[in-house]
Amino acid sequence: MLIHISRESGIPLFGNIAFGIIDRGTNLLQVRATSVCNINCTFCSVDGGMFSQQHKVFYEVDCDYLLEEVGKVVALKGNDVEINIDSVGEPFCYPQLEKLVEGLREIQCVKKISIQTNGTIWKDINVDVVNLSFHAIDPILARKLANSPCMDIDKVKDFGERYKKKGIIVRLCPVWIPGVNDTEIPKIIQYAKEKDYFLGIQKYEVYAYSRKHEKIKAQSWYQFYSQIKKWEKEFGLSLQVTAKDLGIHKASRVEEVFKKGERVKLEVRLKGWFKDQMIAVGRGRTVTVKDCTKNEGDLINVKILETKNNIYLAK
């Protein structure tokens, strides 16, 4: 089920992890236009894609509405804002992506636009940085990890090349899954070195609702960085990327409107991202309500459980 969120819907764009705008108190704003994904990675930390066991509801935000709301937030942030178009899905599944990027370019103080992608859907968009998921060079393993016939690693390589030729920074972002793609990571590092791509190797994480590889445990950060340092020596490259390297710094943040532990009255408006949740609205924010059996339009009294970064959870 795809839910369209427009200004007329009256659904605020702050408060939810699956759509809208996320402000973590820096000059980088995450903009989430869609939660749809066209593939089904076997290790997906958000259980995305059509094979998802947890998510039967997907969201898509109207482009004009999103641009208006981003414009308001950018005005609070200073003059060097980066917009990162990311998603709990695949941003290139958003039908209005070209329009979104062109609109973001028009916003004063937006200095950089970056995007996350699995590289399986080609669209020519005017961004500054492409962060390309790239978990295996081996075509069979790449397709197996994507769990989708949409994954053709040669096409993903071509995707990266086309953006690089436009002068856009391309960063290959493999998730290193111990015991699964260990031998692929050095090949990816070598490939990035030869092709002059940036690299952002990511640690495999296991969350309550993520898709998991059976019997594979996440490494400790110590184990992860020990191996990263070995690869740095082997390839003569720096593989550790800090927020400072990426030009990210603290900046004023959008005000949080609820306090943890507070009891509030809200109106139920939408189905939640997880099956047992509903999304309620109050004080210009959405609040995800756990274990909610109420219907759209009902008023509820709930206790706020989480407020971090203006992402609200209540019960």
Q: Can you read off the two tokens belonging to residue 145?
A: 């990890």
- Residue 90 binds to ligand SF4 (criterion: CB under 6 A): yes
- Residue 174 binds to ligand SF4 (criterion: CB under 6 A): no
Binder among 5, 13, 18, 44 for ligand SF4 (CB under 6 A): 44
Binder among 5, 13, 39, 254 for ligand SF4 (CB under 6 A): 39
- Residue 36 binds to ligand SF4 (criterion: CB under 6 A): no
Binder among 40, 84, 96, 131 for ligand SF4 (CB under 6 A): 40
- Residue 74 binds to ligand SF4 (criterion: CB under 6 A): no
Binder among 84, 114, 118, 277 for ligand SF4 (CB under 6 A): 118
Number of residues that bind ligand SF4 (CB under 6 A): 12
Residue that is written with structure tokens 């409107």 in the block? 257
290 vs 278: CA distance, rounded Å: 7
Binding span for ligand SF4 by CB under 6 A among 38-46, 158-166, 221-229, 259-267: 38-46
Residue that is written with structure tokens 């990511």 in the block? 202
- Residue 177 binds to ligand SF4 (criterion: CB under 6 A): no
Binder among 37, 74, 83, 239 for ligand SF4 (CB under 6 A): 37
Nearer to ligand SF4, 48 or 174 (CB): 48
Binder among 12, 15, 49, 119 for ligand SF4 (CB under 6 A): 49
In our burial notation (b when 16+ CB lie closer than 10 A, e otherwise), range 33-50 reads bbbbbbbbbebbbbbbbe
Nearer to ligand SF4, 87 or 307 (CB): 87
E strands within the chain? 2-5, 20-23, 28-32, 58-61, 81-85, 110-117, 129-133, 169-173, 175-176, 198-199, 202-203, 263-271, 278-282, 285-289, 299-306, 313-314
Q: Can you read off the two tokens belonging to residue 66?
A: 């999103």
171 vs 196: CA distance, rounded Å: 9
104 vs 295: CA distance, rounded Å: 35
Q: What are phi and psi of 65, to 5 degrees?
A: -60, -45
What residues line the site for ligand SF4 (CB under 6 A)? 37, 39-41, 44, 46, 48-49, 89-90, 118, 133
